[in-house]
Structure 1
């Protein structure tokens, strides 16, 4: 009861067909859901997954992972899996006792609302969580849209915020480094090891914004990571914040951010919002 085990089900992606038997394109249908869940249970050595999340929508979605705006010309209408069909596939593994609850990830307001309407109409399992990117530099898509849809009085879906450090850019470690690939502090960090990965946090005003937030954190006696994680934790719609660490020092710093009062000082939040008005989602569309 002290541990919640969550995992994900791959969304539609012809590029990663190696994860399915026979090299088939992953889909969110009954066959793929069963294969994914059974393999996850075997790998994890457990009988039940507490939370199974669809990693990204089966349908085409604009703006995914920093991509370009939605264009209806890119819809895959001839290769769709309706929301009801996806829920029925998930209901089967829930009824079998293999999964307790279901969630979505990288989803939109349209997707969340459509899943919940289909669940109510056909008495199918409801989506409980949404795992989307949320941080000091990625805010508006949730705050101005999904927050209303997911509010308790509406669809009642809790946010599991991922990338609260924006790929590490909000940790401050890149702020004063000319060449991350050769600097001892960053040469083994992801932006150095995987050039081009998460470019939206590197080749944009995002890094400039990260420097400003790092300076703000230090003025309030915090590390940059501490401010970023405490900010995400302080939001009313965030149920949990997903952290990652490659060293024990990083893990300690991350965990320390969750000690003490959940609320941040009002004057600090005012300064955060002032910076946000200048650097409003600087990584979007990069």
Structure 2
């Protein structure tokens, strides 16, 4: 366990992604995964008000509802840290002050709690002045509805501007950043954004840590079996080029040396990168969870980190 950046949230080295709850994992499966994660010591779950509006018949909020019902059933709200987001829900789009105020109350109701540990701007909204967005977030922190703030899918210049406004106006600032980042997708985070996060002491919780499942090692050349395939299978197989094969080869070698699953190595590589506090990864079944949990106890050698970094260079 370690503190999440400059917050007082003492987190497990893996954040459980809740995007699958109400999508590829039904209520019963989701409860089982959450039970297993908590039993292993996991305590941070990431969701959003938009999850999973893309599923036919859903409208958004399904993931939050399942998570809220689980915490109520287990009586463990105080033992868990909950991260959720605003801006992408079809019912509550954008980052206007009015929308933020309405959306947080919707999320609190679905989560069956009176506070959110980490509340993200799910994406940047250039149609709304940053000062308005930050002012509304600050109100939530002062009211006790939100403990800490985060920014997801923000560029370095816009994030830097938001931090400067918050500091100048005496508003609560973003403490956590959530970018897309994994061995196959490095350009969004590395460079300007990573440098800013280090300089500003922002904790980073990257999503798509396993590149839509590709970095589990499940997808290999010649594998055409689509029975029981994940909805992300097509996207994962898109990584099967020369670079992807180099990465798989390096992952296989290191996984064998440590006697751990390939996914654990990929997630451990993320934790070795600047400012990364914990990767986000999801499991739709309990059987998928041990490979993710194994990453929490795995520390790669500097040579292994370099081997993977080199293999994944474009």
TM range (shorter): 0.7 to 0.9
SS for the counterpart of 1:169 is helix
Task: Output the aligned Cα RMSD.
Answer: 2.2
Secondary structure, aligned partner of 2:277: strand
SS of the residue corresponding to residue 143 of structure 1 reads coil
The residue number in structure 2 matching 1:157 is 202
Q: TM-score, with normalisation over the residues of structure 1?
A: 0.75
Is residue 2:252 matched to residue 1:211?
Answer: no
Deviation per CA, 1:197-231, whole angstroms, max 9, x where unpaired? Answer: x4795476664355334433344243210110111
Structure 2 length-normalised TM: 0.69
Larger Rg over CA atoms: 1
1:90: Cα distance to partner?
1.0
How far apart, in 1, do the equivalents of 2:114 and 2:100 lie?
16
Is the partner of 2:135 in helix, strand or coil? helix
Corresponding residue number in structure 2 for 1:265: 301
For the Cα contact (< 8 Å) 1:91–1:125, is it kept in 2? yes
Change (3 A) 1:32 1:180: farther
Select the residue among 277, 286, 296 that pairs with 1:248.
Answer: 286
- Matched residues in 2 for 1:174 and 1:270: separation? 23
- Farther-moved stretch of structure 1 (264-273 vs 113-122): 264-273
Deviation, structure 1 residue 232: 1.1
Q: Paired residue for 2:160, among 93, 100, 113? A: 113
Please give the per-residue CA displacement for 1:29-78, whole angstroms capped at 9, x wherever unaligned. Answer: 1111011100000000000111100111113xxxxxxxxxxxxxxxxxxx
Q: Which has the higher contact order (CA 8 A, sep 6+)?
A: 2
2:113 equivalent in structure 1:
46
Instruction: Go from structure 1 to structure 2 and tell me whether the alpha carbon gap of 1:266 and 1:210 turns closer, same or farther (over 3 Å shift).
Output: closer
Stretches of structure 2 that go unaligned for 5 or more consecutive residues are 1-77
Q: Is 1:189 paired with 2:219?
A: no
Size of the aligned set, in residue pairs, is: 236
